[in-house]
Amino acid sequence: MFENKLVAIINKDLESGVALNALAHMSIGLGAQLGKNILRLNDYKDGQDNIYPNISQIPFIILNGKSSEIRKTVISARELSIAHGIFLDTMTGGTYVEQLERTEASMEEALKYYGCVLCGEWELVTQLTRKFSLFK
């Protein structure tokens, strides 16, 4: 059993390419926030000494849900101080500067959640994510 649980929730209305882009961005951000030790990253080596760096020992569970459900989960994660990353509709299209400006000009209630990633105490993350289905 692991101390922490690593889960992503992807908006079920997204096309696969958009969903994968959101997952990649959120995962990079959360990984930078948490670091190698918390994520329990290892380098794998094959029989020819080729290195495959920074693969987590922790299972990474990918779920799906509605934007409103993801939003509620993020609010709960904040309240419980669970490490998380988020990707929003304002974070696509145009330049990153336009994305930053679009996000800053938006009220939180108007944002469409493309997804979130969570990493925290196993039981707390389980409580927040048990209502979601596995991503298909």
Per-residue model confidence as pLDDT tens digits over 1-38: 799 999 999 999 999 999 999 999 999 999 999 999 99
pLDDT attached to residue 1? 75
For residue 82, give the CATH number of its domain. Answer: 3.40.1490.10
Q: How many domains does the chain have?
A: 1
pLDDT level of residue 136 (50, 70, 90 thresholds): confident
Residue-range definition of the domain harbouring residue 115: 4-134
| pLDDT one-digit tens code per residue, 39-64 | 999 999 999 999 999 999 999 999 99
Q: Are 10 and 115 in contact (CB under 8 A)?
A: yes
For residue 135, the 8-state DSSP code is P
| pLDDT one-digit tens code per residue, 70-122 | 999 999 999 999 999 999 999 999 999 999 999 999 999 999 999 999 999 99
The whole-model pTM stands at 0.94
Distances in whole angstroms, Cα of residue 62 to Cα of each of 23, 39, 46, 94 = 9, 16, 27, 28
